[in-house]
Copies of this chain bind each other. A is one copy, B any other.
């Protein structure tokens, strides 16, 4: 498989796949013409990476998960630990965003939104 085909198959942009090779996440072979040649295992890896990234795992976490995936003698506890750590991160981000939303929504609700200059949003940003 050339990069275009595997890109279509995995849904990842070719640029991203090249980048993943750069940082050592996949190691496709090379044809006589210099083109990358992807085997099925490479494509599977890339699919795995795409899904892990879609769940918000960082590249480094992806690297760990990939290593665990390839290690047939892994302990599922190790995988779970990585996932739980990431879940905490996600929860924290959600909380932070929800707090922003709540504050901002309150400011917006108090703002008339007309052609007059008086604006509680700007006042709220000025200071308490």
- Please provide the chain A residues from 91 to 128 with a CB less than 8 Å away from any CB of chain B in the complex: 91, 93-94, 97-98, 100-101, 103-105, 107-108, 111-119, 121-122, 124-127
If A90-B97, A97-B90 touch, does A113 touch B77 (CB 8 Å cutoff)? yes
Shortest Cβ distance from residue A87 to the other chain B in the assembled complex, whole angstroms: 6
Q: In which size bucket is the chain A interface?
A: 35 or more
A44 / chain B contacts, CB cutoff of 8 Å: 126
- Measured between beta carbons, the chain B residues less than 8 angstroms from A119 are 68, 74, 76, 79-80
Query: In the complex, A107 Cα to B124 Cα: how many Å?
Result: 41
The 8 Å CB contact of A94, one of B47, B68, B71, B97, is B97
Interface check A1, CB cutoff 8 A: no
* 24 A-B pairs with C-beta separation under 8 A: A47-B126, A51-B124, A51-B127, A56-B104, A65-B122, A68-B119, A74-B119, A75-B114, A75-B115, A75-B117, A76-B111, A76-B113, A79-B122, A80-B113, A80-B119, A83-B104, A83-B108, A83-B111, A83-B121, A86-B104, A90-B97, A90-B101, A94-B101, A97-B97
